[in-house]
Structure 1
Amino acid sequence: MSDTANNPTDARIAEIVNGNDVVLFMKGTPLFPQCGFSSRAIAILDHLGVDYASVDVLQDMEIRQGIKTFSDWPTIPQLYVKGEFVGGSDIMMEMFEAGELAQLMAEAAVKPAA
């Protein structure tokens, strides 16, 4: 991950990532995703029944570009659990199908959705 001390966008991203147990950087919102990959990611998280925050990268171009550098991952959506980068929608799907994502959430003691 990049040096947050010299980059205010990285500092904002780090604050979001570290301030939420589960956060999804996505295109759109959970109620109105703006791409199929973001829609798939939301469906997975909703199916797992975990509490999560989301960030609409379409509303903030600095975050949209900065998150790619922050994670060294070129695509959106991006999932973080307990401050750690997990991956994008394809990785989420693979982990979900293998039962690994539910296991990760349980091991991380992620709260269920309200």
Structure 2
Amino acid sequence: MSDVQQRIDDLVKNNRVVLFMKGNAQFPMCGFSGRAVQILKACGVTDLKTFNVLEDEEVRQGIKEYANWPTIPQLYIGGEFVGGSDIMMEMYESGELQQALGGQ
């Protein structure tokens, strides 16, 4: 495992809810990242860890390989890859996301 993959792995495994995004929860830098944050807020997530990929080019590229997923944002819950903002919205609308988050 490369250094960047190890760093990503540590972030994913050491935080219950991690969102790799453009910008941060207070100031998203793209519409998809903003929507992802709003969905998680609507679910009542209080322990969200965000990682701004715009500040780290290695992670910005590495996260795409880590999950074999080409786009950002990427959500991880309990060390498992969930998906991007479209998948998050579908899961939110069906109640699956709230369930995955443990009904906080």
TM-score (norm 2): 0.96
> In structure 1, which of residues 18, 23, 28 is the aligned counterpart of residue 18 of structure 2?
23
The residue type paired with residue 35 of structure 1 is C
Distance 1:67 1:39 in 2: 18
Aligned residue in 2 for 1:62:
58
Q: Give the greater-gyration-radius structure (CA).
A: 1
The counterpart of 1:72, out of the listed 68, 72, 84, is: 68
Q: Secondary structure of the residue that 1:33 maps to in structure 2?
A: coil
- State how far apart, in whole Å, the 1-side matches of 2:51 and 2:102 are: 23
**Equivalence for 2:80:** 84
Q: Quick one: distance in 2 between partners of 1:30 and 1:52? A: 9
**Long gaps (5+) in structure 1:** none
Name segments (4+ residues, structure 1) moved above 6 Å.
none
For 2:100 and 2:75, the matched residues in 1 are separated by 12
Give the TM-score of the pair, scaled to structure 1. Answer: 0.88
Q: State how far apart, in whole Å, the 2-side matches of 1:27 and 1:41 are.
A: 11
Q: CA deviation at 1:97?
A: 0.4
SS state of the match for residue 26, structure 2?
A: coil
Report the count of equivalent residues. Answer: 103
Task: Provide Cα deviations, 1:26-68, integer angstroms capped at 9, x if missing partner.
Answer: 0001110000000000000111111210000000000000000
Distance 2:102 2:23 in 1: 27
Separation in structure 2 between the aligned mates of residue 69 and residue 105 of structure 1, nearest angstrom: 24
Correspondence list, 1:33-52, <5 A: 33-50=28-45, 51-52=47-48
**What's 2:96 paired with?**
100
Q: Counterpart of 1:24 in 2: which secondary structure?
A: strand
* Partners of 1:11 and 1:106 in 2: CA distance: 27
Q: CA RMSD in A?
A: 1.0
Residue 8 of structure 2 corresponds to residue 13 of structure 1? yes
